[in-house]
Structure 1
């Protein structure tokens, strides 16, 4: 139907391509004439059966069709709107020729897809109001809505970043044409805003209570946060790299050239747009967690946190090893009598990795978190992954270190002033950093192991119900010597208590005794 209408528009606007499109017109007409009645008949049968039988109306298969149609048509509508806005504004914003036929065709595509989405969305809404939505049907609705939400969000972010970058460059250079057309970015902003804005509003006003503890909501949120933090940190690291390199006297860091402000347009716009999105989405996730986390949501949060900590620790370690190696080579060169290698530009890159990696790692890593996070599988995977990487790096650095020594020892004419000996400083830096990282995480792993309760005791605590004793006969706790405190907490879960007491010193300990009596 969309292709049929766009072909008819060629004839209505007397386009030169109209005469060569008659064969296509025949094909699209035949497709519509055959397919539309078949679809309409089956939709009529489905409507009739659903009115007779409520179970038919609530079936997951029916919702699967409706939400698949909603997902495809809503995303398609957003893309068609973006293309239509691009064609409409390209003359005013970028100086391109105006194509009225192209604008009309893009608008027709958007209208057709919008009509398809409206029809199926209203049918799904009526079914939901009539028979409710639970189980698989609710899951299918979440798949549709959160998929549309994340697609619309990234269309909006990509468009906003491109629009800001193009406006930045045009304001500085007064150029009519840029590598990033403003019209295409404006189209992405409009299409993404419509798609994301509608579904975010519907979720916030109609489905928030049902979806607050949904796994898909957490998955969508942490995917968006993960992408935003990566893009924002890449932009921040580029800005930091340019600044450090310039401060160290590097003339052309990263091919930036003399126009520094124009070169900063892309990384700065990434930081502004994706950094703001990161802050807002993290705030939404925090509000969801404040109302109580389901087990799967907490698992997704822990997976995200430890994955970010793993990546940032890798950047931190690489930056530290590279910076230490560059400084070691610069100090080693005059000692062995060889020219010192250029170190300013590499050192700028290593400092950037070190600073950015350390900032992100400190923001996500907690050495002594509350108990549920401390015994989580994702945390143990993080610790073992870092230990494995540090051991492998330590072995590789030790091999390189001995290789430099043995290369001269076994040489027929060993020379101290051989430039190959500079690899000794880099290998030594790798050994030092890998050893430090490995030792720290080994100590954390051992500390976590000592705080983990035995499996037998954990099971007994889970399945055994002990009635509360009277206040005067309450048994004394088995405690270590020292000052002890009695604390009463009301209206909080066990995880909330663990989180509140997580800042206690490592030598401190506490024991929870749940009480269900009326006076507590």
Structure 2
């Protein structure tokens, strides 16, 4: 309870101090540089008194409680405590927010001036530069301070379990935030470049419209790239101190999420482009070429950014898997990733196949309403089919192995959840759609004139049933195959009645188990030699 109280009060008072400093610098800057406030002004007195009062109260509270915390730092239990690590990494996060937000605003305004913006229209002059620079310097100083304290604790990269999770969670979240900022900034810059080209060819617009958004994009790229690199460098330092960190759960989660972010960033706009292309080919384009290009600058600008992130993340993940191997937990993360992507690809394939069949039905029975469903179906299938096929075959190649690795894969909860989940959804869709078909047919047989509504409606339900039935059957067969893999050996042992035959079967079974154990030990020794 002492640690909870000390570190919680120290953190809250530290945040209050930073808020007070920020407000006080802003007030002093406006009074000094803008010459709009004097000591007698009500606004100045109120703002200055408020920020100073916060500092006067919060500063001694923070110093006292941080001093108490540091008083016990010679105790190993104190240095490795969960509450200390929570305080240090939460304080680092707060300092990073101050550093990045103020640096981002400062860089954005500097870039805007470099691109031709006027000083009179910028926020950097006369007060902004002072407040942002001062607060960015404070943020940088605090980041350095807390990093120094963490290193001085002596357990960086080798923390006990709860404290280790705090560090890894901080690195994972901060790294993903930096990645997201960099992606958005790079997308903004590319989109503006493409938009300028389109505007100069097709449109007459304000020649300076791009200055403000491009300055924001450049600052976001710089801030995001720096944060991503700094976090990754710190994680690499932890791996160098403790090679087991290379196969930790949170590090693998970070890499797999980076792969997913890159893939989604690249493939989603690619599917949108394919859809628009199909619509143009079949005569359903949205207006002129200029309108289409103007609308596509946003999606197109995401594709190269996502491709770069996707390539880097996947290459790094493969390299780390080969170097550090898999722990039991990181193998579970891999399976979750594999079956999550497989399920996503299957969903796209499923919906795309239904859309495509509906488009064919519309063309044959309904009329001239088939173009949109056809474009949607082709775009979804173009992404869903390769995604599902690649990851499903990858999962099956492991599950079909007749060894311990295959048995672990077949009995893993991500695979079971995926297979039974798809089987359940397929059964429910099949039940609903076939019930609708049978219901309409029975009403028609009984003489209900409006029962069928239209031949197209009945064909829709039949198409839905066909797709659901095929995917349902495929996954049921996979479940059945998983169940048969381990039965022959068990049956051979359990059904033998003759003692000599039973002894021989048991000896063969024991020999197989010993061979699997020897292979597992050899693999473990190989991993240990690498680390």
Under TM normalisation by the shorter chain, which class is it? Answer: 0.7 to 0.9
Q: Return the alpha-carbon distance in structure 1 between the equivalents of residues 49 and 377 of structure 2.
A: 63
Bigger Cα displacement from structure 2, 269-278 vs 78-87: 78-87
Distance 1:456 1:490, change over 3 A: closer
Displacement of 1:200 in angstroms is: 1.0
Paired position in structure 2 for 1:234: 268
Matched, 1:39 2:62: yes
Paired position in structure 1 for 2:503: none
Correspondences of 1:217-256 after superposition (within 5 Å):
217-252=251-286
SS of residue paired to 1:341: coil
Map Cα deviations across residues 23-51 of structure 1 (whole Å, 9 max, x no partner).
Answer: 11111111112211222233333334324
Structure 1 stretches of 5 or more lacking a match? 334-339, 458-474, 479-487, 498-513, 515-520
Displacement of 1:232 in angstroms is: 2.2
Paired position in structure 2 for 1:341: 368
Paired position in structure 2 for 1:139: 165
Displacement of 1:455 in angstroms is: 12
Paired position in structure 2 for 1:272: 304
* Aligned residue-pair number: 462
Map Cα deviations across residues 108-165 of structure 1 (whole Å, 9 max, x no partner).
Answer: 3222222222211111111126996333333322222222212111111111112211
CA contact (8 A) 2:430 2:465 kept: yes
Matched, 1:395 2:428: no
Paired position in structure 1 for 2:92: 70
Distance 1:298 1:489, change over 3 A: closer
Matched, 1:87 2:109: yes
Distance 1:64 1:386, change over 3 A: same
Distance 1:33 1:456, change over 3 A: farther
Displacement of 1:321 in angstroms is: 1.2
TM-score, length-normalised on structure 1?
A: 0.80
Paired position in structure 2 for 1:123: 149
Structure 2 stretches of 5 or more lacking a match? 1-20, 201-206, 400-405, 492-505, 510-514, 526-531
SS of residue paired to 2:285: coil
Q: Return the alpha-carbon distance in structure 1 between the equivalents of residues 390 and 238 of structure 2.
A: 34
Matched, 1:423 2:457: yes
Q: Return the alpha-carbon distance in structure 1 between the equivalents of residues 489 and 143 of structure 2.
A: 52
Q: Return the alpha-carbon distance in structure 2 between the equivalents of residues 245 and 491 of structure 1.
A: 59
> If each structure's helix is expressed as a fraction of its own residues, which one has the higher value?
2
Matched, 1:307 2:340: yes
Q: Return the alpha-carbon distance in structure 2 between the equivalents of residues 31 and 156 of structure 1.
A: 35
Distance 1:259 1:95, change over 3 A: farther
CA contact (8 A) 2:356 2:378 kept: yes
Distance 1:257 1:61, change over 3 A: same
Paired position in structure 1 for 2:195: 169
Q: Return the alpha-carbon distance in structure 1 between the equivalents of residues 462 and 475 of structure 2.
A: 20
TM-score, length-normalised on structure 2?
A: 0.78
CA contact (8 A) 2:115 2:211 kept: no
CA contact (8 A) 1:82 1:189 kept: no
Matched, 1:365 2:401: no
SS of residue paired to 1:207: helix
